[in-house]
Structure 1
């Protein structure tokens, strides 16, 4: 109940103010390197969240932003070695999961949206007909970098400007097609050894809202979608980019993949843990994609 009340209050506070203006202000404020402001900001953040810095690569930060975008110490996130397994690209709380049905998926039960709208491309959406999806929500206190879920080649990135609505569960239950309204980057990849297409849609949210990629400069401020051709090769678990605040990644896989055991709404997953499995690559299959179930509060 306490968590639900916090999320309701968070929704009311963040969506009754000018979202873009607030995001620009926090983006500026979080980068101030004055020690008193830095230490007070991080202290307040820790007081109101479950921020854990024990696995951070460094223990002193230049600013709150430096803490937000922290790297992990070596070995903090073991990578699942099974070649048939697609790993979680980030630390997250699992949201909606299940099969793609008639080109649609869910943000929560009763709130469907079309992949064509999310991706900004109907043909791209058709790639995942009869496939699977998993929604991964990064909270503000989590590790904010995301990684390649499989050895892959990035083929293209479509950057779609948009709003910066809060993406917490309260907002998802109140605002239809929310993910299709927010700024996002659809990262289209192909698995290096099989060629299967897997797309990660990084979705920005209120407060800072930046999406940054290691292999491509997504210059902010443009008001039209842009698609960039890429040819970046990444190893499984290699860093792809980072958010400058908590947000969401939707992982889309085609027919032939199944959900890994234990991947269900409301559970917490860490980068490197099994997310999906390419069925037929080994004897230990995952769980067939199933209809969305309601996350626990």
Structure 2
């Protein structure tokens, strides 16, 4: 038995068994169908059951207090003003509400999903030239719990000209699975978005990763959602301009966004594993800022 396996509690092992030893694809497709059923009564019952397991579900922050379906609750918008933006020049804001997972300096092209579980940028990002721009750069793993706000926003002013869609599995992306499944992010369904910046010397890429019960990513600038039923091109061209904080899309449940930054960037002080962050809060900086590390 490995040291990692031995360190897991019985509860953690049971969680892993229930979420990763079942027909993930079919459960995810079923959840997608079920969550779209428009029945306010069914939605209220489903949300009440959900709240028994998620004590941090803050529906009082939602713009609309009532939901016709479970998906409306999953993809809820927030009341205006709840997520102020850090507008300091050079600051990269968090694109989502999340718990920070593994993060730090990229070792050449090697990244860690958890301690002792590395993967390479080339295995995650299909475009080799794009992956090479992040050698020795920074990475931050942002985990969106199912109870969190599921919409994601532009972390900087940027332009998106293409999305690389990679079809794959739907492993759970919680910390337990990340300690058990090698190269999990490289196996799961995902989208790769390179953010074109005004300064060509700086590079940023977001990689939203789907997971069990999710496997559906909706980008407002693409005609179709990217999900298990998608049969279109893997490289999707587009022409989308964003200002910092503008909404880009949403997951239909909790999941993960991987942030990759070129080596000029530094993490803001306090952005470490376990830190809770909100949309619009400072995540990285490319320039020295007064009072910031």
When the two structures are superposed, what TM-score results if normalisation uses the length of structure 2? 0.91
Change (3 A) 1:111 1:80: same
Which stretch of the first structure deviates more once superposed, 188-197 or 10-19? 188-197
User: Which of 37, 44, 47 is matched with 1:42 structurally?
Assistant: 47
**Distance across 1 between alignment mates of 2:21 and 2:263:** 41
Q: Which moved more, 1:78-87 or 1:171-180?
A: 78-87
Tell me, yes or no, if structure 1 residue 22 matches structure 2 residue 27: yes
What is residue 141 of structure 2 aligned with on the other side? 135
Shift of the 51–219 alpha-carbon distance from structure 1 to 2, 3 Å rule, reads closer
Measured on the aligned residues, the alpha-carbon RMSD in Å equals 1.8
The aligned runs of 1:1-297 (5 Å cut-off) are 7-49=12-54, 50-192=56-198, 196-216=202-222, 217-220=224-227, 221-222=229-230, 226-280=234-288, 282-286=289-293
Structure 1: segments with no counterpart, 5+ residues: 287-297
- Of stretches 261-270 and 222-231 in structure 1, the one that deviates more from structure 2 is 222-231
Gaps of 5+ in 2: 1-7
Shift in alpha-carbon separation, 1:269–1:124, aligned structure 2, 3 A? same
Further displaced range: 133-142 or 185-194: 185-194
CA distance in 1, matches of 2:258, 2:214: 20
Q: What is the rounded CA distance, in whole Å, between the counterparts of 1:157 and 1:195 in structure 2?
A: 21
Residue 196 of structure 1 deviates from its aligned partner by: 2.4
Alpha-carbon distance, 1:195 to partner: 6.1
Q: Cα offset for 1:34?
A: 2.0
Structure 1 distance, partners of 2:215, 2:150, is: 12
| CA deviation after TM superposition for structure 1 residue 9, in Å | 3.1
SS in 1 for 2:17: helix
Q: Contact (CA 8 Å) 1:134, 1:251: kept in 2 or not?
A: yes
CA separation in 2, counterparts of 1:218 and 1:34?
Answer: 23
- 152-161 vs 211-220, which deviates more? 211-220
Counterpart Cα distance in 1 of 2:9 and 2:219: 33
Cα displacement (A) at 1:192: 3.4
Could you tell me whether the CA contact under 8 Å between 1:97 and 1:265 is conserved in 2? yes
Q: Could you give the per-residue CA deviations for residues 119-139 of structure 1, whole angstroms, max 9, x where no partner exists?
A: 122221101112101000000
Q: Tell me the secondary structure at the aligned position of residue 72 of structure 2.
A: helix
